[in-house]
Structure 1
Amino acid sequence: MSESTSLHYLSNGMAVQLQPVADLSAAAVCLRVDAGSHHEPDRWPGLAHLLEHLLFQGGQRFPGPQRLMPWVAARQGRVNATTEACRTLYYFDVRSEELSEGIARLLDMALLPEFSADAIRREIPVIDAEYGMLSRHTPTLITALLATGIHQPPAFRRFVAGNRQSLDGDLPALREALLAFHRQYYSPGRLCLIIRAPLSLADLSAALSQALSQTGSHQLMPLTAHRSLPLPDRAPVPVNERQTSGVLHMDGEGQHCLSYLLADPDSRLRAAVPLLQVLLSDAAPGSFIDAGRRQGLCHHASAEVVSAAPGYLWLLIRLTRPAGPAHPAGRFSRLFRHWLTQIRHLSADRQAHYLRLARQDFLRLSPMEQVRKVASGEVVAGEPDSAALAEAMLSASPCELQTEPSDGGQTLAARGFLCRWSPAPESEDGSPESVPAFVFYPQTASPAGARWLPEATPLPPATVPRCFRSETAGPEAGIILRPLRGSTLTGGQLSQLRYSLHPWISRVRHAGGEASVALHQGVPQIRMMLPVAGEALELIRLLCSLWPDLSAAGIAEDSTQEILIRRLLAEFPQRLAVTQQTPVWSCIIRCQEDALFSRISHSLQQTLLLQRQQPALSPLAGEARHLPVSDGDNAVLYFLPLGSDDPQALVAAQRLGAIYQPAFYHWLREELSAGYVVSCRFEQFADRQGILCALQSPRYDCAQLIAWCRQFFGRVREQIMQMTDGDGLPAEASVSSLPADALASELQNQMAGGLRPALEEPVSVRQLQQLHRRWEDAVGRAVILSCGR
């Protein structure tokens, strides 16, 4: 628990945590319910999941378009929910000035829901569609197959996702079961409300009081200083049956997992998981990933909480590698055990170093993801005991599971899903592999096996930098690299870049800076922010030494593990922009020293193809469709480009998107049950802005989904044309204040030919109406990407 957290109880018994956080870009709220799928009756598998869906239909005080989901969407916020084994989370983010209204709607839907028969009937096909999607989702099948080995408690082996078969039939009996479940487990004493916002504690308390007055609840009562939030009842510790290492037969990127079931009565082990995650994800020389790469075991590693409650922790260690045959059983676990033995003996200064990195990872999350982590207990608090977690894992007997693309194996029903699996190959005979010497940071000297950097070459007499130089000063040396405007990378190039630069990213972080290879508006960006400018040149030289030849990208893009709509979203920028065998890059550098700027730009120019000139943007693509490789969902992306960088046009497009989303969702998700991915928002992809409609459906083919997208703009014409200036327009989305985001925005403006002028006049309703008419006339010229029938 953070020291800045203020604990309260409402008079009805609900717990409240108020967390003032100065640097958040938005307010975020999460309602935690201490009940999940393991609490549902055996007669109705998936009932807890169905109830989560139904609550978003609204409560008694905020029905229809005023309920939480459309209300948040109209304000360009985000909202989501998760049903887990022993808890359910509902969370959203909005602008701080709208916090109290959002809380009121969240409490209304959770405490006073309306379980109408029509809503239940409408949501069952959505649950069934999600079940179909999960049946092809590798992480879901891995968890299901591992759960078959848990013989106590039996709830872990139950089918909990829900589908039409488990929920359809006796609708009155189902409705009564939903009401009974809600009465028993959604009582205020089992609820905890977490509120994080860039507001003072007094302002947070006032926002909560205002929300309570809107819902008719009584005022909060402060806790005395010695009291704390009560823990829910302890859950029994799951127990594994002894089983052989297995192989799940799935296409795509290889997965190699170790599953740990640990007793955790006071949640002390779970509190150390963020520290384990940052240690395991390190790719610097001498790290676990570095050793795994050298042995051909992995190119990434992660630690994931599958399920947790007071009493136990189910932890999954996951390696990813290129697709290929499974490794001999035990090879990964031997290397991992050796690494864990060293984790037990981390020095205090190194533990503090990785603790700082774990906190940085948390702060990089969106406000909504931060509050979800807080509610789940997956945040760094106090001094987490990594040695205790490592000792518990060394004392346990993990289950090992891999994946490989193969048609062999036997079929097994696992938690309602069909899996093809076989025993893992036997361990290889012969001498054991050499044990690597793992390295932990900080290091006073270059770690063993570190790459020696080439000496800095002298600058030529007259170097003309091809990099932009930032016009703003700052304490950090900052660098942003991205493909030239109007261009992007292929999926294979991006995968190769991430793989090659992963050690550099880790090394920058160990030096006290921040670095990443991330997608920003569909375009890859390489970001580096280094507080100590004197180290910038050495790290740039390391970056250049690791830079891959992207004309021969050797790591294939993984396109089989993702949900279909996410695969299309990853590909979509390539439909709007050009890709090149040898990409041309734009760069902006922020540093206060002239000599350092010259040396950085010179080093980059020796390795990368940099350019300042601005070519014309490539023509937009028309329609493209992928045929499905097997029966499954159909998905469509339908994009109407704005075609203008004018500030007023951009703001008008953003505000129209906030109007479109709730109307689009209501029509296609609630009235027609067209699919379970239904979105219509303002988006930016590959230097293009516009409205993006996204649909995914197992029932309707791509032609029908596209037809609905085109019809929508005519359906909302009357709503738009009847608006007046007094109606109140949706607010603009919150703007990030992170230094790297500000530098990236400056580079974007430089590439576009100069800084955009500030928007002085507000956007009028008339401008919104004019833009809507333009888009309505252009529905036949949209850029479309689809996959399916």
Structure 2
Amino acid sequence: MPTKTDPPVQLTLPNGLRVALLHDPALVQAAAVVRVAAGGHDAPVEYPGLAHFLEHLLFLDSAAFPADQGLMAYVQRCAGQVNASTRERDSYYFFEVPVSDLDGGLARLCDMLAHPRLALEAQLREREVLEAEFQARSRDTDTLCDAALARVMQPSDHPFLGFHAGHRGTLPVEQAAFQNALAGFHQRFYQAGQMLLVLAGPQPLERLRELAELYGGRLPAGTYVPQSVPPVLRLPASTGLRVEAQPGRLSLYGLFDDLPDTAGEALDFLGECLAREEPGGLSEWLSTQAGCDSLRLRVPYRYAGQAVVAVEFGLGEAGEANAGACVSAFFDWLDFFAAADWGDLRCEHARSVAMRERVSPPLARARAWAERSGPRDDGVEGGGLSESGLLALRAILTQLRRQQRVELLTVAAVSSAPADRGFPVKAEQASLLPGVQGQCGPWRLPPANPFLALPGAPSGQQMAVPEAFHWKECNPSFPGQAAVFLRWRFPEQPAGDELRHALAAALQPVVQAARQAAVDVRLDGQGGDWVLSLCGLALSQPAILGAALKCLSAPSADAWARGIQRRDAERRRAAGELLIRRLLKELANAFGAPTEADAIDAGAWQDALARCWRTACWDGLALGYAGADRQRLEQVLPQVPGEPSRAAAQAPIPEARYSWRDAAIPTGECGLMLFCPLPDAGAETEAAWRLLGRCLEPAFYRRLRSELQLGYAIFSGFRSVGRSRGLLFAVQSPSATAAQILSHIEAFLDDQAAVLSTLEETALREMGADLAGRLSRFPSLRAAAEWHWQAHLEQVSVDHLERLCGALRTLDRSTLLAHHQALREAQGGWRVLANAAPVDSRWQ
């Protein structure tokens, strides 16, 4: 059974920088996080959003690195991850890259934090990006609900009740006073004494320490500047609020004071217990008895012992009618839970935390440590609910049950005028929801999770494995981890999407229990097929797969109703998501022949499912299995419903050269995705297009986001979409039309021909060799598994990866330019998904 990783080594550099070093030889990537003890609430009140604005500016030119050589471009070239976040009292800057690239990333990170250029022209451009972010957040349900609390909480000058996001009107960059405030904020807080640097990777501790001292030592020396402690937040009386936002949410807000530092782990534990869907739990009761489709605990604010906690209910189709029952059930369950014995739950929680930590990438580990650490205190140890966390949990439960609360309902419309400052919140006070008399429960704590226990030895019986199931060797980079994919095809009659939602609902208890055992379980639709995937620790996967297959073969009788409920809930939640995310989710199934299934009578859905399984054929892939784990998996495979496939899947029906799908998502902004599939499956073609993706990605971001200022949700790169691979270009804009966005993308691709023609052959070979090296070192098991599964779907040769890497190392400029021309000519096709109609007659 995996154990908790060692705590980090901590030190303080002569310039005042605190450092935490997390060494784990099992990691295959490296990560860095800088936490600055200053956030939105520390900015001058005259300039809301200044802290967030500075975060954006730091990613532009710095003293040693212009923007095209800075951290963002560098990490993109490394195929890594990079981002930042400005919170109430902290700001975080972080990235994850291959181990060999940590040095270059740290150099850029520390230089941009210490020596930003802050050019006025760049500020004017970036202010428009913040304006676009503000417009998007003005439609976000979480944001609007939290902002509405200013109507009922006190004191009015508490920073939580203020506006800190920033927009065009609060950032007068042309004024000298603003420039002085910006420079002063940077000088005051962006110095070593106000920062924590966390490094995580497989490098020896001595090497991590050298990097921290070399680059962290370049930050300006300083001492910690104490942050102001806010007054106690108060709620004079329990009250109701109605907020105009995406309808169907009930939020119970509570205020807390004098909480210990371990309150975070206590809230995590409580949130997990709330969300468990086993019989006898609150979530299951709300779903079956009150029609709720979701339950979660969210913490909008926590600082200096204060916290604002929201318990949020997705009310489902019943809407407000069952809101009172939700409140009554919640407090009834809370009384039960407060009096229960949590001993077994705490032990399971500790095992689960340890197991999940073993498969966590370095960036997740580094961020978790940085977030647990106080401004001047050592980080709180992870590993479950400590004794101090237990005391914090008891205090939280006591306050939740006795204190004043806000009962907030989101509704389609309210009559009040929007707030005149900050987010345009329309809210009105209301009476508390009427209590509901009657029996809730009976309540039970969750049963023991069987997937957290050590599995028994496999039986000695040898099982014949169908040829439709394929094995890939263990990857030594991810010891103890594995993945399984199973795909069902329905050649006689497509299976209805409603059936898949019913099976997903039946799977949910297995999904939750597997997540505790560090295994991610998914059931996805893929062009009419169903795909079940498991990824994570190998130890429990055979047992998890067996439990999942039982649910799929014989789901519970109420699975249909719960599946329809979950489907409708997903649609409601999607309506509040960022447009570009909604398009990305729809992209894989937007093209190809439509799969029309027969209508299914709700009373006969189990018969329909049985017919589907009788005609289904399946194939699969396992990655990373060996020894006893492989034996256990082999013994589960006979439970797979359907017949093993004896023939390769048919190739997708070719699309028109220019295909357009209107997603019909009404919103005030325009989103467009252009996917350009590979014209053929050859290794040289894929190599050239992957290299094109590497060259175009930073230039696309710079041109459309920074120079044209089309919006802030802009990205591109080489992607897998359904059963195809190719280049994806995505833009969400608050101002441009679909025709304008597409025109900008086409102009960009045309202009890049001249840029690519200037590439030196030596530089191109180095870039290709670097990309080949990265492809042979997957950053995570998930990445490796998805690559091999995609190769299986596309039926490429077993040595495709080897030939691809070889082609990357020998690719020349003339070949790259030829493939760039093929991209511009849409030789593999162009597929557009947008929330707009086709812009001209070439699109079908």
- TM-score normalised by the shorter chain: which range applies? 0.7 to 0.9
Once residues 562 and 257 of structure 2 are traced to their aligned partners in structure 1, the CA distance between those partners, rounded to angstroms, is 50
CA 1:441/1:351 → structure 2, altered by over 3 Å: closer, same or farther? farther
Map of 2:539 onto structure 1: 531
CA 1:739/1:314 → structure 2, altered by over 3 Å: closer, same or farther? same
Once residues 322 and 292 of structure 2 are traced to their aligned partners in structure 1, the CA distance between those partners, rounded to angstroms, is 14
Q: Which has the higher helix share?
A: 2
> 1:407 offset after TM fit, Å?
3.4
The answer as to whether partners of 2:48 and 2:164 remain within 8 angstroms in 1 is yes
Map of 1:470 onto structure 2: 471
Match of 1:263 among 247, 254, 257: 257
> What letter corresponds to residue 238 of structure 1 in structure 2?
L
TM-score (norm 1): 0.85
Map of 1:449 onto structure 2: none
The answer to whether 1:775 aligns with 2:823 is: yes
Question: SS of the counterpart of 2:65?
Answer: coil
What are the equivalent positions in structure 2 for 1:297-336 lying under 5 Å apart?
Answer: 297-327=291-321, 330-336=324-330
Once residues 779 and 671 of structure 1 are traced to their aligned partners in structure 2, the CA distance between those partners, rounded to angstroms, is 29
Map of 1:111 onto structure 2: 114
CA 1:70/1:469 → structure 2, altered by over 3 Å: closer, same or farther? closer
CA 1:239/1:618 → structure 2, altered by over 3 Å: closer, same or farther? farther
The answer to whether 1:562 aligns with 2:585 is: no
Match of 2:20 among 17, 21, 26: 17
The answer as to whether partners of 2:468 and 2:620 remain within 8 angstroms in 1 is yes
Match of 2:812 among 752, 757, 765: 765
> What letter corresponds to residue 320 of structure 2 in structure 1?
A
Match of 2:212 among 208, 216, 226: 208
> 1:464 offset after TM fit, Å?
9.4
> 1:442 offset after TM fit, Å?
1.4
Map of 2:660 onto structure 1: 623
Map of 2:352 onto structure 1: 357
Match of 2:242 among 240, 244, 247: 247
The answer to whether 1:540 aligns with 2:549 is: yes
Match of 2:701 among 659, 665, 683: 665
Map of 2:486 onto structure 1: 481
> 1:493 offset after TM fit, Å?
7.1
What are the equivalent positions in structure 2 for 1:242-641 lying under 5 Å apart?
Answer: 242-251=237-246, 254-264=248-258, 266-327=260-321, 330-344=324-338, 345-361=340-356, 366-377=361-372, 381-382=382-383, 383-384=385-386, 385-386=389-390, 388-396=392-400, 397=403, 399-404=405-410, 406-413=412-419, 416-422=422-428, 427-428=433-434, 431-442=437-448, 465=466, 467-470=468-471, 472=473, 479-482=484-487, 497-508=503-514, 512=517, 514-517=519-522, 525-527=532-534, 531=539, 533=542, 537-538=546-547, 540-546=549-555, 555-556=567-568, 557-558=570-571, 559-578=574-593, 580-581=595-596, 586-588=619-621, 600-605=636-641, 613-620=648-655, 622-626=659-663, 629-630=666-667, 632-641=668-677
| Aligned-residue CA RMSD (Å) | 4.0
> 1:41 offset after TM fit, Å?
1.5
Map of 1:450 onto structure 2: none
Question: SS of the counterpart of 2:132?
Answer: helix
> 1:31 offset after TM fit, Å?
1.3
Map of 1:69 onto structure 2: 72
Range with greater deviation from structure 2 (665-674 or 48-57):
665-674
Match of 1:729 among 767, 789, 792: 767
> What letter corresponds to residue 581 of structure 2 in structure 1?
R
The answer as to whether partners of 2:50 and 2:182 remain within 8 angstroms in 1 is yes
> 1:470 offset after TM fit, Å?
2.7
After superposition, give the CA deviation of every residue in 1:391-431 in whole Å (9 maximum; x if it has no partner). 32332436344545533453442862223445567645663
Question: SS of the counterpart of 1:326?
Answer: helix
The answer to whether 1:688 aligns with 2:689 is: no
Once residues 374 and 651 of structure 1 are traced to their aligned partners in structure 2, the CA distance between those partners, rounded to angstroms, is 38
Question: SS of the counterpart of 1:755?
Answer: coil
Question: SS of the counterpart of 2:278?
Answer: coil
What are the equivalent positions in structure 2 for 1:746-757 lying under 5 Å apart?
Answer: 746-753=788-795, 755-757=798-800
> 1:724 offset after TM fit, Å?
2.5
Aligned length: 761
Match of 1:199 among 183, 203, 223: 203
CA 1:145/1:427 → structure 2, altered by over 3 Å: closer, same or farther? closer
> 1:561 offset after TM fit, Å?
1.1
Map of 1:451 onto structure 2: none
> 1:546 offset after TM fit, Å?
2.7
Range with greater deviation from structure 2 (310-319 or 185-194):
310-319
The answer to whether 1:37 aligns with 2:37 is: no
Once residues 133 and 419 of structure 1 are traced to their aligned partners in structure 2, the CA distance between those partners, rounded to angstroms, is 14
CA 1:322/1:371 → structure 2, altered by over 3 Å: closer, same or farther? farther
Map of 1:453 onto structure 2: none
After superposition, give the CA deviation of every residue in 1:474-533 in whole Å (9 maximum; x if it has no partner). 9889642346599999987776554332112134456x5724217799996432666255
> What letter corresponds to residue 768 of structure 1 in structure 2?
L
Range with greater deviation from structure 2 (90-99 or 313-322):
313-322
The answer to whether 1:719 aligns with 2:719 is: no
> 1:72 offset after TM fit, Å?
1.4
> 1:439 offset after TM fit, Å?
2.4
The answer to whether 1:80 aligns with 2:127 is: no
The answer as to whether partners of 1:134 and 1:140 remain within 8 angstroms in 2 is yes
Question: SS of the counterpart of 1:240?
Answer: coil
Question: SS of the counterpart of 1:275?
Answer: helix
The answer as to whether partners of 2:237 and 2:404 remain within 8 angstroms in 1 is no
> 1:611 offset after TM fit, Å?
7.5
Once residues 610 and 296 of structure 1 are traced to their aligned partners in structure 2, the CA distance between those partners, rounded to angstroms, is 43
Question: SS of the counterpart of 1:357?
Answer: helix
> What letter corresponds to residue 211 of structure 2 in structure 1?
A
After superposition, give the CA deviation of every residue in 1:352-387 in whole Å (9 maximum; x if it has no partner). 202332444555555434433332229861543245
Once residues 109 and 482 of structure 2 are traced to their aligned partners in structure 1, the CA distance between those partners, rounded to angstroms, is 43
CA 1:776/1:443 → structure 2, altered by over 3 Å: closer, same or farther? closer
Question: SS of the counterpart of 2:154?
Answer: strand
Structure 1 gap segments, 5+ residues each: 221-228, 446-461
Range with greater deviation from structure 2 (307-316 or 475-484):
475-484
> What letter corresponds to residue 825 of structure 2 in structure 1?
D
> 1:562 offset after TM fit, Å?
0.4
The answer to whether 1:187 aligns with 2:191 is: yes
CA 1:567/1:538 → structure 2, altered by over 3 Å: closer, same or farther? closer
Once residues 691 and 138 of structure 1 are traced to their aligned partners in structure 2, the CA distance between those partners, rounded to angstroms, is 33
> 1:710 offset after TM fit, Å?
0.8
Match of 1:150 among 150, 153, 176: 153
Match of 2:100 among 87, 97, 100: 97
Structure 2 gap segments, 5+ residues each: 374-379, 452-462, 598-611, 838-844
CA 1:133/1:247 → structure 2, altered by over 3 Å: closer, same or farther? same
> 1:713 offset after TM fit, Å?
1.4
CA 1:72/1:597 → structure 2, altered by over 3 Å: closer, same or farther? closer
Once residues 550 and 724 of structure 1 are traced to their aligned partners in structure 2, the CA distance between those partners, rounded to angstroms, is 61
Question: SS of the counterpart of 1:295?
Answer: helix
> What letter corresponds to residue 553 of structure 2 in structure 1?
C
Once residues 380 and 519 of structure 1 are traced to their aligned partners in structure 2, the CA distance between those partners, rounded to angstroms, is 36
> 1:719 offset after TM fit, Å?
2.3
Aligned identity (percent) is 23
The answer as to whether partners of 2:738 and 2:836 remain within 8 angstroms in 1 is yes
Map of 1:708 onto structure 2: 744
> 1:660 offset after TM fit, Å?
0.9
> 1:551 offset after TM fit, Å?
14
The answer as to whether partners of 1:642 and 1:653 remain within 8 angstroms in 2 is yes
